[in-house]
C-alpha cells in the first residue's frame, strides 16, 4: 500500500497485458465471458474485474468519470488516478471512460460522448458493473441474443443488474454506427463486451 492507497497490479506489466488481452478478446467476440486471474483488492465500490480493466486501459490522456450511484467514489477515484494517472473528467459527456459502479442506475447513452462521423473513435467507453454475467444458450429464457461482427449467427448472454429499457438503448446505439459507445460489462472477476456493432435482442 502506497500513501494509504490500495496496491494496484502485483506485476504491472504482466497483469496489464493479460487484462488487455482479455478485453480485446471480449471486444472481438461479443458475448464471450472472460475471467481475470489478477489478484487485487480495490476500494469500494470497485469490483476486481472493473478495477482491473481500468488499471489496464486508463492513462494520463484518458479522462475518467465515475458514477457511484450515490455511493462515495473518492477512494476509488484516488486509487485509479494514483495507479494510472487518469484525470477526473468534469462530467460524463467529457469522459473518455465512464465507470458505472451499479449497472442498475446506468444513465441513457445520450449522456455520454458519442463521437462523430469523422472521428467515431472519440466516443466514450463504458465500464459497467452488473450483478451477474454468464454465457447462455440464445434460446434460454431471460437471455440476450447477440448478433453482428465477431459472432457466428447468434450467441446468448445472461446479464443481471441493468435498467429496464437497456435493450432499446443498445438498439439505438447500434443504429448510430459509426458513432456510439462501447460497453465493457464486469461482474466479480468476469468480463464481457458489447461493442457498438453488436445487435442485442431480449
Span 70-80, pLDDT tens digits: 889 999 999 99
Whether cis (ω within 30° of 0) applies to the bond prior to 45 is: yes
Per-residue DSSP letter, 170: H
Q: Is the pLDDT of residue 2 over 70?
A: no
Average pLDDT over residues 20-40: 97
Average pLDDT over residues 111-139: 96
Q: Which three cell numbers stand for residue 121?
A: 473513435
Euclidean distance between CA atoms 128 and 162, whole angstroms: 9
Q: Which residue has the higher pLDDT, 5 or 20?
A: 20
Is residue 6 within 8 A of residue 165, CB to CB? The reply is: no
Q: Are strands 144-147 and 155-160 parallel, antiparallel or unpaired?
A: antiparallel
At 99-122, the pLDDT tens digits run 999 999 999 999 999 999 999 999
Q: What is the band of 3 on the pLDDT scale with cuts at 50, 70, 90?
A: low
Q: Is the pLDDT of residue 57 over 50?
A: yes
Summary mean pLDDT of the chain: 95
Domain extents in the chain = 12-201
| Alpha-carbon torsion (193, 72, 163, 157), positive or negative | positive
Average pLDDT over residues 151-171: 96
Q: Which three cell numbers stand for residue 126?
A: 463504458
CATH superfamily of 12-201: Bacterial phosphonate metabolism protein PhnH (3.40.50.11310)
Outline where 29-141 has alpha helix (H). 48-57, 74-84
Average pLDDT over residues 117-128: 96
Q: Are strands 97-100 and 64-67 parallel, antiparallel or unpaired?
A: parallel
**Cross-strand pairs, 5:** 2
Euclidean distance between CA atoms 42 and 70, whole angstroms: 18
Q: Which three cell numbers stand for residue 25?
A: 478478446
Q: Is the pLDDT of residue 1 over 50?
A: no
pLDDT for the residue numbered 71:
85
Q: For a pLDDT cut of 90, what percent of the chain falls above it?
A: 93
Ramachandran assignment for 144, one of left (phi > 0), alpha (psi -120 to 50 degrees), beta (any other): beta
Average pLDDT over residues 191-197: 98
Buried b (16+ CB within 10 A) or exposed e, 39-64: ebebbebbbbbbbbbbbbbbeeebbb
Amino acid at each position: 500500500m502506497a500513501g494509504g492507497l490500495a496496491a494496484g497490479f502485483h506485476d504491472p506489466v504482466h497483469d496489464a497485458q493479460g487484462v488487455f488481452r482479455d478485453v480485446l478478446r471480449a471486444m472481438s467476440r461479443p458475448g464471450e465471458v472472460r475471467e481475470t486471474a489478477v489478484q487485487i483488492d480495490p476500494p469500494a465500490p470497485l469490483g476486481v474485474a472493473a478495477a482491473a480493466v481500468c488499471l489496464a486501459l486508463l492513462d494520463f490522456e484518458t479522462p475518467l468519470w465515475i458514477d457511484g450511484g450515490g455511493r462515495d467514489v473518492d477512494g476509488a477515484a484516488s486509487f485509479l488516478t494514483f495507479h494510472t494517472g487518469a484525470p477526473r473528467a468534469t462530467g460524463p459527456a467529457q469522459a473518455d471512460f465512464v465507470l458505472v459502479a451499479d449497472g442498475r442506475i446506468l444513465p441513457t447513452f445520450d449522456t455520454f460522448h458519442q463521437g462523430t462521423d469523422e472521428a467515431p473513435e472519440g466516443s466514450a467507453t463504458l465500464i459497467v458493473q452488473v450483478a451477474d454475467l454468464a454465457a447462455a444458450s440464445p434460446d434460454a429464457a431471460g437471455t440476450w441474443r447477440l448478433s453482428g461482427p465477431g459472432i457466428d449467427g447468434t450467441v446468448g448472454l445472461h446479464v443481471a443488474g441493468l435498467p429496464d429499457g437497456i435493450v432499446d438503448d443498445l438498439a439505438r446505439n447500434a443504429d448510430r454506427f459509426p458513432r456510439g459507445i462501447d460497453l465493457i460489462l464486469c461482474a466479480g472477476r468476469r468480463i464481457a463486451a458489447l461493442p457498438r456493432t453488436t445487435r442485442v435482442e431480449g
